[in-house]
Homo-oligomer: A and B are copies of this chain.
Amino acid sequence: MLDLCVLGALARGESYGYEIAQRLEAGGLGSIAGGTLYPALLRLERLGLVVADWRAGDGGPARKYYRLSPDGTTALSSAAADWAVFVDNVTAMMEVP
């Protein structure tokens, strides 16, 4: 769930962890703590869905920039389709007719 939102946030352009958290919060998903976000980013990196490289910080510590890999892009669009179906089913189940 969180992983897919992170992929979606990265679909808006490459970014680093701290800024991804801000994108997610701006998207209404609440504040995602570092201890939640960074393990998710490491998972996605190990799965090959995102690729990362370190860059010097702009007034602050170095940043690790993440961007979608081709696998990540296809995983995101396939997950988005699955998500739409799942949402339709769950919403129908939760609404009392």
- Measured CB to CB, the residues of A under 8 A from B are 1, 4-5, 7-9, 11-12, 24, 27-29, 76, 79-80, 83-85, 87-97
In whole angstroms, how far apart are the Cα atoms of A1 and B93 in the complex? 11
In whole angstroms, how far apart are the Cα atoms of A32 and B80 in the complex? 23
Q: How many copies does the complex hold?
A: 2
| Nearest CB on B from A69, distance (A) | 15
Known: A8-B93, A28-B89. 8 other contacts (CB 8 A): A7-B94, A11-B96, A27-B89, A28-B85, A28-B88, A79-B94, A80-B95, A87-B91
Chain A interface, DSSP helix/strand/loop, else mixed: helix
Q: Are A90 and B29 within 8 A (Cβ)?
A: yes
